[in-house]
Amino acid sequence: MAIDLCGIALEHPVINGSGTFDVIAARRVFGEALDTEFPFSAFVSKTITLEPRLGNPPPRLFETASGLINSIGLPNRGLAGYLEHDLPELSSLPVPLITNVMGSNADEVGQLFEALEGCTEIAAIELNVSCPNVKTGLDIGSDPAELSKLLGSVRSKTSKPVIVKLTPNTANVALVASAAEASGADAVSLINTLRAFAADPSRPGKAWLGGGTGGQSGPAIRSVALAQTVAVSSAVSLPIVAMGGISTAANARQFLDAGALIIAVGTESFRDPATAAQIRDGLVALS
Ligand SMILES: Cc1cc2nc3c(=O)[nH]c(=O)nc-3n(C[C@H](O)[C@H](O)[C@H](O)COP(=O)(O)O)c2cc1C
């Protein structure tokens, strides 16, 4: 079950999806038991941005028939807060740490890369490119040319492996993945949430979520995630971290068979925090 992800030795192919497992809170509840039976072979932080963000106004979550729509809005302490408060705790986890970052332009991403470069506790960077372009309103990672430009200007600012977390909200994810590969990505991860709208039942035409629109995740997006994994794995030779509605070892197996090297568990961990451990054990049984 051991895997090499861009030179990082992992004990098995199951990690977490960014923003879906609050390991600091979980440690407070489960104490040492969490570390001895740690469910993930690497831990991915929630997205951090250069400046602190409060996130979107509530309500932030809407349950759907088969998953949820979130409009959390990336609340985080910002780079300085992450380095001071979160990193010391995250770096004591028993697995390699992948820090997820997002910037709204190359300058911000470059500053984040440079600031993390000296942090030996961080094994790799995951770059979330689902940030809206302030001019076009489209995700910056939705256009292959724009993504190439971004990576071209920031890639040299870090020697750490860079995993580009692709946005699924694009016309052709394979083209975007190819652009990431050509511009220096070491791996790609997919899928992030799909843009979605939750209607307020008591206010016709109005949004339920405080942020207006949100992102759909969970089993509802699994078939889309699988389709995008198949498309990306035929387009690039980079390692692929696949996610999107993975709830069982059988689901995980399908993503690995579709070309993923690693799979991540996201929304399902909210329903049952033991899911990732069950998937890891289930994959052994299936192999
Ligand atoms: C509540 C919530 C918060 C999330 N926060 C982040 C985040 O901070 N950064 C990120 O790149 N993805 C974030 N995601 C996306 C997940 O990492 C994952 O890509 C997506 O949910 C699909 O996987 P899943 O269906 O297994 O949840 C978030 C998803 C959820 C549901």
**31 Cβ contact list (under 8 Å, min separation 6):** none
Residue range 259-267: average pLDDT? 98
pTM, rounded to two decimals: 0.97
Q: Determine the distance separating the centroid of ligand 1 and the alpha carbon of 32, expressed in angstroms.
A: 26
Residue of 16, 20, 226, 241 to mutate, ligand 1, most atoms within 8 A of C-beta: 20
Whole-number pLDDT of residue 136: 72
In this predicted structure, what is the pLDDT of residue 66? 94
Which of 18, 69, 162 gets mutated to test ligand 1 (max ligand atoms within 8 A of its CB)?
Answer: 18
- The DSSP symbol for 31 reads T
Beta bridge partners of 166: none
Q: What is the mean pLDDT of the chain?
A: 95
Q: Which residues carry out catalysis? A: 131
Residue type for position 8: I
CATH homologous superfamily of 3-55+74-195+218-286 equals: Aldolase class I (3.20.20.70)
How high is the pLDDT of residue 134? 63
Q: What count of other Cβ atoms lies within 10 Å of the Cβ of residue 287?
A: 9
Among protein residues, the one with the nearest Cα to ligand 1's atom 7 is 19
Q: Which atom of ligand 1 is nearest to the CA of 165?
A: 11
Q: What is the pLDDT of residues 147-170, one digit of tens each?
A: 999 999 999 999 999 999 999 999
Enter the tokens of residue 225. 């995630």
Mean pLDDT, rounded, for 268-276: 95
**Each residue's pLDDT tens digit, 84-142:** 999 999 999 999 999 999 999 999 999 999 999 999 999 999 999 997 766 776 788 99
- Cβ of residue 243 lying under 6 Å from some atom of ligand 1: yes
